[in-house]
Structure 1
Amino acid sequence: MIREYIRERLSWISLVIGIHGLFLFVGYLDSSIPFQSMGYVVFLSSILFVVFLVTRYYKETKFYKQLNERINDLDATSVLQGDLPFEKMTAETLTDHMDVWKREITANNIKVEQEKEEMLAWIHEVKTPLTAIHLMIDRVEDQDLKRQLTYEWLRIHFLLDQQLHQKRIGVIENDLYIEPVDLKEVVFGEIRTLQSWCIQKGIGFDIDLQVKEVLSDSKWLAFIIRQLLSNAVKYSSDGDITVSSYEISGEKVMKIEDHGVGIDAKDLPRIFEKGFTSTARKEAANATGMGLYLTQKAAKPLLISIDVDSTVGSGTIVTLTFPKRNDFVDVIGM
């Protein structure tokens, strides 16, 4: 702040130094004026100016220090109290602008919440006809047509489900209910949803769940597994997808392994970024880039660690490491 203040008052300082120099120059040229006396006057004047400058520094920078400390606080009216006329004008102007900004922010927040609620209501409304369409598809006798319709229905279902969870994920902490979750029930439930798609692509599942129960939230864990399984099916052409769970060093681990196209090494660090789609997979052309992003966002409050190991042409292994009961103590007070 001292450097900024000196820079701000540089014109004043230069003026005083210039005047002192002028006095000394006049005393030097004019023999009728004792040069020593003139130097003494300049010396005393310089001391007074330095004292004045220091005093004004503490007085004038107090307001700006307060302003700088509250730079990110919209409610700065309690500290923006200037003593000098220009400081009072600045404080009043900032206060008026902050009031306007706060009203606009409040109005925008209300609008966003309304749009969010309308979107959620729309998604729930769409699910009703979507369910009816699924029942109609079940009555289709042409098996090829039925598989194609089921696949397209499944795509719409997943997109709506993804959108629904995207809207809820901002307040996921309010929606969590941590309890022992039957891992087998969740996995098989999601596999049943993907069954028609898997049949169409000739993909099977090899299930080996040594760990039957994990501590998590059933709804959000199902969402995470749904995203990972759908990715495994989407990027595999045939063969089995292996889903296994086991315990190692006291930690419960679940693995989902496919033998699909894999992920390029340069893409691996970015797969959880919002909107990122593969630079190599042709299947990613129509992808939203939100699946793995939302998966990571949902896993974080559940204290689930996700690791991805992949090689192009050899498939992908996704490892979920579940937390221990003690890990949730600080989060939910279990």
Structure 2
Amino acid sequence: MIKKYVSERRSWIILFLALQALFLLIAYLDASIHFQSILYIVFLSFIIFILFLMIRYQKEATFYKGLEALDDDFDLTSLRDARTPFEKITETQLTEQAKYYKESLSDLLINVEQEKDDLLGWIHEVKTPLTTMQLMMDRLEDERLKTQLNNEWLRIHLLLDQQLHQRRIPFIKNDLYIEVTALEPLLYKEIKDLKSWCMQKGIGFDISLQRSEVLTDAKWLAFMIRQLLTNAVKYSEQSDILISSYLEEGQVKLAIKDAGRGIDPRDLSRIFDKGFTSTTSHHDNAATGMGLYLTQKVAVSLAIEINVQSTLGEGTTFTLTFPKKNAFVQLTSM
């Protein structure tokens, strides 16, 4: 702060030095002026000027240190030491601006919250006719038409589900309920929901669970598995998806392995980025680039680590590593 203050007052210091040099020059050129007396006056002036700078620094630095310490929450209590007219002008303007931005931010948050509630309400409303459509499709006798309609119905259902959870993720901390969760019924439910799609593409499942239970939030884990299974089915044909769980270094791991088209090595570091689809399949208009992004967001909240291994043309393996029990103690105490 001292360096900044001296730099700010540089023009004053230069003016003072120039005046002192002028006095000495005049005394040197004018024989009627006693040079030693002027030199003594200049020396005293230097002492007084330095003391003046020190005093002013103590008074002004408090205000500027307050400016530096301003937080992102627009708390201006640290600016109560404004003394000079310019400092008071600065404080007044900042206070008015902070008040304006707080009011604007409050209005914006209210609007966002209202839009979120409206969208969630709309999604729930849309689910009602979807359920009715499902019952109507079950009565169809044309199996080919029934399968096609089921597949399109499933796409809409998955997109709505993705939107629903996307809106809830910012508030996931308030929605977590950590408990011992059985993997087998959770996996079978998600596979059953994808049954018609899997039958159309000739995809089966091979499940091997050495560890049948994990400590997590069942609802959000189901959402994560739904996204991973959807991706595995989407990019696979006439093959089996292998699902296994095991214990490694004291942590339960759940692996989902498909034999699909795989992921390009240059894409691996970006697959969890929002909106990223693929650099090799731009023709895939069905991809939204949100599934893995949302999965990663949920994983962070559940303290689950996601690892991915993939070989282009041979398949992809996603491995979920669940935290130890003490990690959840830290998670729930935040």
Map of 1:108 onto structure 2: 108
Q: Secondary structure at the match of 1:82?
A: coil
Map of 1:331 onto structure 2: 331
Structure 1, unmatched stretches of 5+, are: none
Q: Secondary structure at the match of 1:150?
A: helix
Q: Is the 8 A contact 1:81 1:91 kept in 2?
A: no
**AA matched with 1:109:** L
Superposition CA RMSD, Å: 1.4
Map of 1:207 onto structure 2: 207
Map of 1:91 onto structure 2: 91
Q: Is the 8 A contact 1:217 1:302 kept in 2?
A: yes
Map of 1:58 onto structure 2: 58
Map of 1:146 onto structure 2: 146
Shift of residue 282, structure 1, vs aligned partner? 4.6
What does 1:1-334 correspond to in 2, within 5 Å?
Answer: 1-77=1-77, 79-282=79-282, 284-332=284-332
Shift of residue 72, structure 1, vs aligned partner? 2.3
Q: Deviations over 1:240-261 (max 9, x none)?
A: 1101112223221111000111
Shift of residue 71, structure 1, vs aligned partner? 4.2
TM-score, length-scaled by structure 1: 0.96
* Aligned mates of 1:217, 1:192 — CA distance in 2: 20
Q: Secondary structure at the match of 2:285?
A: helix
Q: Is the 8 A contact 1:67 1:80 kept in 2?
A: no
**AA matched with 1:122:** W
**AA matched with 1:330:** Q
Shift of residue 288, structure 1, vs aligned partner? 1.5
Shift of residue 2, structure 1, vs aligned partner? 1.9
Deviation larger for 61-70 or 245-254: 245-254
Q: Deviations over 1:307-329 (max 9, x none)?
A: 00001111000111112222212
**AA matched with 1:197:** W
Structure 1 segments, 4+ long, off by >4 Å, are none
Structure 2, unmatched stretches of 5+, are: none
* Aligned mates of 1:12, 1:257 — CA distance in 2: 72
TM-score, length-scaled by structure 2: 0.96
* Aligned mates of 2:2, 2:71 — CA distance in 1: 19
* Aligned mates of 2:322, 2:71 — CA distance in 1: 41
* Aligned mates of 1:156, 1:248 — CA distance in 2: 38
* Aligned mates of 1:191, 1:35 — CA distance in 2: 100
Distance change in 2, residues 1:118/1:45 (3 Å)? same
Shift of residue 188, structure 1, vs aligned partner? 0.5
Q: Secondary structure at the match of 1:300?
A: helix
Amino-acid identity (%): 57
Shift of residue 23, structure 1, vs aligned partner? 0.5
* Aligned mates of 2:258, 2:207 — CA distance in 1: 12
* Aligned mates of 2:57, 2:75 — CA distance in 1: 26
